[in-house]
């Protein structure tokens, strides 16, 4: 075979194997091999390295899309000094993602604005960056989705969907009253993940008031059993970060108004 037909054949192999990035990089890598005097091993390593990098980037982008995180928060963005109720070292330990390996659950309990969603989303982002499948939903969306699934005969598939990710974030449990059917869906999702996959749950309701989410207090108790059996619980009772920002702005304004005019 001539060099030209060998080259065409090699491109054909790469296309058949769906190694698109390697196929595209082939001319450049061959040129570099000549220019830099690369041996066969070094050249193949470079070519396949390009394909591996492209595969990893695709996988990461797909995990990222799947996770549906509502914001791009990271743990490093969280201001621990502003929220002393949050144990920094415990959050950093969770940031190592070891908790995912034994399906430990994490509960963030506290009033609005204290950073519950931010912490849950930041941990989910860390999980995605660590190559895990994570998925974010609010409790209301989960209930609505299960409701539709029941009507459309897709209940089992939807339950499998919520069982799948290594980490499931369920945000805002208790913000809206849940219809009994929604509470039942939540119960089933949590039951089937029990000891298999981590749940990070945020709620404004103290554990003692969980009975209120459900018509049936025994369901609430059973769900809490499963959630808390292997879990880390944060009770965040500090000031609202949002309010803090408003207060700081108000203070600034007031200072501005009351400062003696320099003009
Ligand atoms: P919650 O879910 O508890 O209602 P959020 O996580 O939505 O509160 O936080 C409200 C807003 O305040 C968000 O914009 C969040 O980024 C910010 N925030 C809250 N706590 C902190 C913190 N400790 N450091 C930095 N930003 C914070
Ligand atoms: Mg929130």
By the 8 A CB rule, do 198 and 104 touch? yes
3-class DSSP state of 216: coil
Ligand 1 centroid to Cα of residue 61, in Å, is: 26
Instruction: Average the pLDDT over each of 16-25, 77-86, 166-175, 243-252 and give the range with the smallest value.
Output: 243-252
Helix (H) or strand (E) holding 58: helix 40-67
Helix (H) or strand (E) holding 171: strand 167-173
H helix runs in the chain, sequence order: 3-16, 20-36, 40-67, 88-95, 116-129, 139-151, 155-163, 180-193, 217-229, 241-258
Task: With a cut of 90, say whether residue 93 has pLDDT above it.
Answer: yes
What's 177's DSSP letter?
P
Pocket test for ligand 1, best of 115, 121, 169 (most atoms within 8 A of CB): 115
Confidence class for position 263, pLDDT limits 50, 70, 90: very low
**Nearest-CA neighbor of 75 among 29, 106, 31, 32?**
106
pLDDT tens digits, residue range 104-139? Answer: 999 999 999 999 999 999 999 999 999 999 999 999
**Nearest-CA neighbor of 76 among 116, 112, 125?**
125
Helix, strand, coil in percent for the chain, rounding step 5: 60, 10, 30
Confidence class for position 9, pLDDT limits 50, 70, 90: very high
pLDDT tens digits, residue range 231-256? Answer: 999 999 877 776 666 667 666 666 66
Task: With a cut of 50, say whether residue 22 has pLDDT above it.
Answer: yes
Ligand nearest to the CA of 138: 2
Q: Which atom of ligand 1 sits closest to the CA of residue 114?
A: 3
**How confident is the model over 80-103, as a mean pLDDT?**
95
Which pLDDT value is given to residue 209? 81
Instruction: Average the pLDDT over each of 51-60, 185-194, 221-230, 238-247 and give the range with the smallest value.
Output: 238-247
- Tell me how far apart the alpha carbons of residues 111 and 17 are, in angstroms, rounded to a whole number: 54
Which pLDDT value is given to residue 261? 44
Pocket test for ligand 1, best of 118, 123, 171 (most atoms within 8 A of CB): 118
pLDDT tens digits, residue range 169-216? Answer: 999 998 887 888 888 999 999 999 999 999 999 999 887 787 777 777
- Tell me how far apart the alpha carbons of residues 25 and 51 are, in angstroms, rounded to a whole number: 9
Residues with CB under 6 A from ligand 1: 73, 78-79, 82-83, 110, 112-118, 202, 241-242
Average pLDDT value over all residues in the chain: 91
Which pLDDT value is given to residue 144? 95
Tokens of 84: 């002393």
Which residue did the predictor score with more confidence, 219 or 39?
39
Task: With a cut of 80, say whether residue 13 has pLDDT above it.
Answer: yes
Task: With a cut of 60, say whether residue 257 has pLDDT above it.
Answer: no
What's 198's DSSP letter?
E
Ligand 2 centroid to Cα of residue 86, in Å, is: 15
Which residue did the predictor score with more confidence, 36 or 1?
36
Task: With a cut of 70, say whether residue 3 has pLDDT above it.
Answer: yes
């Amino acid at each position: 075979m001539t060099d030209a037909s060998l080259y065409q054949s090699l491109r054909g192999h790469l296309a058949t194997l769906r190694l698109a990035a390697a196929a595209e990089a082939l001319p450049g890598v061959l040129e570099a091999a000549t220019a830099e005097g690369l041996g066969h091993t070094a050249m193949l390593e470079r070519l396949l390295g390009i394909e591996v990098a492209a595969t990893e980037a695709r996988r990461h982008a797909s995990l990222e899309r799947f996770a549906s995180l509502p914001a791009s928060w990271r743990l490093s963005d969280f201001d621990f000094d502003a929220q002393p109720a949050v144990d920094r070292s415990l959050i950093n330990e969770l940031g190592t993602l070891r908790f995912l390996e034994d399906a430990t659950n994490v509960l963030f309990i506290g009033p609005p604005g204290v950073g519950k969603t931010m912490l849950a989303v930041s941990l989910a982002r860390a999980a995605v960056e660590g190559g895990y499948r994570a998925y974010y939903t609010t409790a209301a969306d989960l209930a609505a989705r299960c409701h539709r699934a029941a009507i459309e005969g897709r209940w089992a598939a939807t339950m499998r969907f919520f069982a799948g990710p290594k980490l499931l974030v369920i945000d805002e449990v208790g913000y809206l009253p849940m219809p009994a059917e929604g509470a039942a869906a939540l119960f089933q999702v949590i039951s089937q993940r029990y000891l298999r996959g981590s749940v990070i749950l945020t709620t404004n309701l103290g554990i003692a008031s969980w009975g209120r989410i459900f018509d049936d207090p025994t369901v609430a108790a059973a769900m809490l059993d499963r959630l808390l059996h292997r879990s880390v619980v944060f009770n965040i009772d500090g000031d609202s970060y949002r309010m803090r920002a408003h207060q700081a702005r108000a203070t600034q304004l007031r200072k501005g108004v009351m400062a003696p005019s320099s003009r």
